Every structure is written in C-alpha cells, then in structure tokens.
Amino acid sequence: MSDYLALREAVIAGKREAVTEIVKGALAAGEDVNLLLDKGMIPAMREIGDRFSRNEAYVPELLIAARAMQSGLALIEPLLAGSGRKDLGTVAIGTVKGDLHDIGKNLVAIMLKGAGYKVIDLGVNCDIAKFEEGVAQGATIVACSSLLTTTMTYMREIADHFRGRGVKVIVGGAPLTQAFADEIGAAGFSEDASGAVKLADTLRAS
Ligand code: B1M
C-alpha cells in the first residue's frame, strides 16, 4: 500500500518531483492507479480548494498544486488508457467557454480512454464551434466540464445546440447537479470520472 498521506501532502505543497517519485514508486510496486487517485491526488485537490475557500491558500498555490497533480496524472494516464475495452465509440470532451479548469476534465478523459472509448480532448475554454469540431471527427457523445457557476450556464446553449442531432450532451463538474442537468435537457450528469464512464456506457447501450 502506498503512502497516500505523503502523496496528498506533496500535491498540496506543489512538489512536482516528490509527486513524480511517489507515483513512480507506487506504480513500480503494483499499486492500483484508482487508489492513487481516490486516496491521494483527488483529496489533495479538495483540501487545497477548502484552504482557498478559507483564505488560507491563494491562486498561485492552487496553480502549483494543480501542476504537481498533472505530473502524477501524466504517469497514470498510459496505464488507464492501456487497460480498457476498445471500440466503444467516440467522446469529445472539453471545459466550457470562459473556464480554464482542466484537472477534472483530464481525469474524465483518461478514465474514458481507460474504459476503451476514443476520446477527443478539445481542451479548455470551448465554445460550441469547438465542440462541433469533435462531432465532425465522429463523436456521438459531447462531455462538458465546468468548475465555475459563471460558466456552467453555457452548457444550456450547448445542450440546445445539439438536441435532435443524434449527439448526446453529458455534463459534469463540481458546481453541477443532476437537477441542473435535467433542467438544461442534458442527456446525463455524473459527479465524478468513474461515473462518467458508467454514464457513457449507459448512453451507448440505449
Ligand atoms: Co479555481 N475555482 N479559479 N482554479 N479552483 C474553484 C473551482 C473554486 C470552487 C475555488 C473556491 O472558491 N473554493 C472557485 C469557483 C467558485 C464558483 O464558481 N462558485 C474557483 C475560482 C473562483 C477560480 C478563479 C475565478 C480564481 C481567480 O482568478 N480569482 C479562476 C478562474 C479561471 C478560469 O477558469 N477562467 C480560478 C483559477 C484556478 C487555477 C488556474 C488556479 C486552478 C486550475 C488549474 C487547472 O485546472 N489546470 C484552480 C483550481 C485548482 C481550483 C480548485 C482548487 C480545484 C479544482 C480541481 O482541480 N479539483 C477549485 C476548488 C475545489 O474544487 N474545491 C477551484 C480536482 C478535480 C479532480 O475535481 O474538477 O471537480 P473536479 O472534477 C471532478 C468532478 O467534478 C467530475 O469528475 C472529476 C473527477 O472526479 N467532473 C466531471 C469534472 N468535469 C466533468 C465532466 C463530466 C463528468 C464529470 O462530463 C460528463
């Protein structure tokens, strides 16, 4: 079992090299990548977020913590991507217009890849035209991420735009709820990355 506490503390402190070392060591020891995420890195980002809310951490600290998290994710991604089923369909994923948060979106993308979906990662600050690019490349599911209450409202426009076109718009991100997804007419909502995979599986089967 890995030292999840050390991993959490390294992410919170923004120590990229320490995160890399811990994750490499854990992977070499055969650690389950999901445990590294669920017990180490994701709680670390929650903690730094709580500190930010309490004015105990500021934007630069969030940024270096996010970069440290990304360095760990980069090591985990190939393993998740290599372990899954194939030919399940194509998902275009992006963080919506005005929003630059991409850690959760990246996690959803790697979990979908790991499950065997082809994933077109459109990046951050995606407007409808950007999501259209994903659909033009064959995506039948459009996955939208938002971390800001000011940007989540744009998802309504995305859902309206793709309605009736055989494209399923699914949404997620910390401020979202199932009720919001229902209200804007999205095809589905999930509160975490593994839920997004189950949601895509359900939509594919329907
Ligand atoms: Co910002 N930020 N941030 N931030 N940031 C939040 C979101 C905030 C809640 C912090 C706070 O006040 N406590 C707050 C939003 C408040 C609100 O809207 N009500 C906030 C703010 C205000 C801001 C700025 C405006 C700050 C400023 O400049 N004054 C600014 C906005 C910039 C912009 O986007 N235009 C800003 C900037 C930043 C950084 C750049 C410093 C950095 C982002 C770096 C990056 O992403 N590359 C950052 C960070 C790191 C955070 C917090 C601390 C952590 C977010 C995160 O990565 N969480 C966050 C506080 C918090 O969440 N507690 C905060 C970890 C990640 C794994 O979780 O993204 O929720 P999450 O993803 C989950 C699920 O939500 C779900 O699955 C993921 C994995 O389980 N999910 C999906 C996500 N997308 C999905 C899509 C799906 C399905 C599931 O599709 C189907």
Q: Is 59 in the pocket of ligand 1 (CB under 6 A)?
A: yes
Q: Each residue's pLDDT tens digit in the chain (206 positions)?
A: 568 999 999 999 999 999 999 999 999 999 988 888 889 987 887 788 788 778 898 878 988 988 898 899 899 878 876 554 356 899 999 999 999 999 889 878 877 876 668 899 999 999 999 999 999 999 999 999 999 999 999 999 999 999 999 999 999 999 999 999 999 999 999 998 878 988 999 998 77
Of all protein residues, the one whose alpha carbon is nearest to atom 43 of ligand 1 is 101
- Residue 119 phi, psi (nearest 5): -120, 125
By three-state DSSP, how is residue 153 classified?
coil
Q: Is 55 in the pocket of ligand 1 (CB under 6 A)?
A: no
By three-state DSSP, how is residue 45 classified?
helix
CA distance 115 to 32: 15
Question: Domains of the chain, with CATH numbers?
Answer: 4-83 (1.10.1240.10), 90-205 (3.40.50.280)
Residue located via tokens 């919170």: 12
Mutation probe of ligand 1 site: the residue of 62, 80, 117 with most atoms within 8 A of C-beta: 62
Of all protein residues, the one whose alpha carbon is nearest to atom 20 of ligand 1 is 148
CA distance 24 to 13: 18
CA distance 178 to 199: 12
